[in-house]
Protein backbone atom coordinates (compact mmCIF):
# COMPACT_ATOMS: atom_id res chain seq x y z
CA UNK A 1 0.00 0.00 0.00
CA UNK A 2 1.33 3.43 -0.91
CA UNK A 3 1.67 6.14 1.72
CA UNK A 4 -1.16 8.34 0.47
CA UNK A 5 -3.51 5.36 0.17
CA UNK A 6 -2.73 4.50 3.79
CA UNK A 7 -3.27 8.15 4.79
CA UNK A 8 -6.70 8.29 3.12
CA UNK A 9 -7.90 5.01 4.63
CA UNK A 10 -6.53 5.90 8.07
CA UNK A 11 -8.13 9.35 8.03
CA UNK A 12 -11.49 7.96 6.91
CA UNK A 13 -11.38 5.35 9.66
CA UNK A 14 -10.86 8.05 12.27
CA UNK A 15 -13.06 10.80 10.81
CA UNK A 16 -15.87 8.76 9.28
CA UNK A 17 -17.49 9.64 5.96
CA UNK A 18 -16.68 13.14 4.79
CA UNK A 19 -16.68 15.18 1.62
CA UNK A 20 -13.95 14.80 -0.95
CA UNK A 21 -13.10 18.48 -0.44
CA UNK A 22 -12.76 18.08 3.34
CA UNK A 23 -10.67 14.94 2.89
CA UNK A 24 -8.37 16.63 0.39
CA UNK A 25 -7.97 19.68 2.61
CA UNK A 26 -7.26 17.62 5.71
CA UNK A 27 -4.60 15.55 3.95
CA UNK A 28 -3.38 18.43 1.78
CA UNK A 29 -3.89 16.54 -1.46
CA UNK A 30 -4.52 18.48 -4.66
CA UNK A 31 -8.14 17.91 -5.80
CA UNK A 32 -7.16 16.47 -9.19
CA UNK A 33 -4.71 14.07 -7.53
CA UNK A 34 -7.32 13.15 -4.94
CA UNK A 35 -9.87 12.17 -7.59
CA UNK A 36 -7.42 9.75 -9.22
CA UNK A 37 -6.45 8.33 -5.82
CA UNK A 38 -10.08 7.86 -4.78
CA UNK A 39 -10.93 6.31 -8.15
CA UNK A 40 -8.23 3.67 -7.58
CA UNK A 41 -9.31 3.01 -3.98
CA UNK A 42 -12.94 2.69 -5.07
CA UNK A 43 -12.00 0.33 -7.92
CA UNK A 44 -10.27 -1.86 -5.31
CA UNK A 45 -13.42 -1.81 -3.15
CA UNK A 46 -11.69 0.00 -0.27
CA UNK A 47 -13.87 3.13 -0.25
CA UNK A 48 -17.32 4.10 -1.33
CA UNK A 49 -18.43 7.50 -2.65
CA UNK A 50 -22.03 8.59 -2.42
CA UNK A 51 -23.93 11.83 -2.84
CA UNK A 52 -24.29 13.81 0.37
CA UNK A 53 -28.02 13.74 1.21
CA UNK A 54 -27.68 17.23 2.71
CA UNK A 55 -25.99 18.66 -0.41
CA UNK A 56 -26.37 16.70 -3.64
CA UNK A 57 -23.44 18.60 -5.20
CA UNK A 58 -21.00 16.92 -2.80
CA UNK A 59 -19.76 13.36 -2.55
CA UNK A 60 -19.13 11.74 0.81
CA UNK A 61 -16.26 9.29 0.98
CA UNK A 62 -16.45 6.36 3.37
CA UNK A 63 -14.38 3.33 4.24
CA UNK A 64 -15.70 -0.12 3.30
CA UNK A 65 -15.22 -3.28 5.36
CA UNK A 66 -12.56 -4.39 2.85
CA UNK A 67 -10.89 -0.99 3.28
CA UNK A 68 -10.90 -1.43 7.05
CA UNK A 69 -9.36 -4.90 6.75
CA UNK A 70 -6.70 -3.72 4.29
CA UNK A 71 -5.88 -0.76 6.55
CA UNK A 72 -5.44 -3.08 9.53
CA UNK A 73 -3.08 -5.35 7.59
CA UNK A 74 -1.05 -2.33 6.44
CA UNK A 75 -0.97 -0.95 9.99
CA UNK A 76 0.33 -4.26 11.32
CA UNK A 77 2.99 -4.41 8.60
CA UNK A 78 4.08 -0.84 9.42
CA UNK A 79 4.24 -1.69 13.12
CA UNK A 80 6.41 -4.75 12.42
CA UNK A 81 8.73 -2.69 10.22
CA UNK A 82 8.98 -0.03 12.95
CA UNK A 83 9.85 -2.64 15.55
CA UNK A 84 12.55 -4.06 13.29
CA UNK A 85 13.96 -0.61 12.51
CA UNK A 86 14.04 0.47 16.17
CA UNK A 87 15.27 -2.87 17.54
CA UNK A 88 18.82 -1.57 18.23
CA UNK A 89 17.42 1.20 20.50
CA UNK A 90 16.62 0.82 24.17
CA UNK A 91 13.10 1.75 25.35
CA UNK A 92 14.42 5.12 26.60
CA UNK A 93 16.13 5.79 23.26
CA UNK A 94 12.94 4.90 21.41
CA UNK A 95 10.92 7.36 23.52
CA UNK A 96 13.51 10.08 22.92
CA UNK A 97 13.60 9.36 19.19
CA UNK A 98 9.81 9.46 18.88
CA UNK A 99 9.77 12.69 20.89
CA UNK A 100 12.21 14.33 18.49
CA UNK A 101 10.19 13.17 15.47
CA UNK A 102 6.98 14.54 17.02
CA UNK A 103 8.65 17.91 17.64
CA UNK A 104 9.89 18.04 14.06
CA UNK A 105 6.46 17.16 12.68
CA UNK A 106 4.76 19.70 14.93
CA UNK A 107 7.17 22.43 13.86
CA UNK A 108 6.73 21.58 10.18
CA UNK A 109 2.96 21.98 10.56
CA UNK A 110 3.12 25.48 12.06
CA UNK A 111 2.75 27.22 8.77
CA UNK A 112 6.14 27.43 7.13
CA UNK A 113 4.90 27.18 3.57
CA UNK A 114 1.87 25.10 4.61
CA UNK A 115 -1.67 26.28 3.95
CA UNK A 116 -3.09 27.45 7.23
CA UNK A 117 -0.43 25.63 9.24
CA UNK A 118 -2.31 22.33 9.00
CA UNK A 119 -0.78 18.91 8.71
Query: Distance between terminal CA atoms of the chain?
Result: 21
Cα–Cα dist 117/107, whole Å: 9
* Torsional sign, CA 10, 11, 17, 18: negative
Specify the pLDDT at position 70: 97
Rg (CA), the chain: 17
Cα–Cα dist 9/46, whole Å: 8
Specify the pLDDT at position 116: 47
Specify the pLDDT at position 48: 97
Cα–Cα dist 93/19, whole Å: 40
pLDDT tens profile 15-35:
989 999 999 999 989 999 999
Considering only residues 117 and 102, tell me which one the structure prediction assigns the higher pLDDT.
Answer: 102
pTM of the model: 0.77
Please report which confidence band the pLDDT of residue 109 belongs to, taking 50, 70 and 90 as the band edges. low
Cα–Cα dist 29/119, whole Å: 11
Cα–Cα dist 55/12, whole Å: 19
Specify the pLDDT at position 114: 47
- State yes or no: pLDDT of 112 exceeds 90: no
Contact criterion met (CB below 8 Å) for 53 and 94: no
pLDDT tens profile 32-87:
999 999 999 999 999 999 998 888 888 899 999 999 999 999 999 999 999 999 99
Cα–Cα dist 9/51, whole Å: 19
Cα–Cα dist 35/33, whole Å: 5
Amino acid sequence: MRTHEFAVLHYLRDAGPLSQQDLGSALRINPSNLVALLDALQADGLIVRARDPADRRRHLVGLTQDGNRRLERARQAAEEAEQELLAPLSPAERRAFVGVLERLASDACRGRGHRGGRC
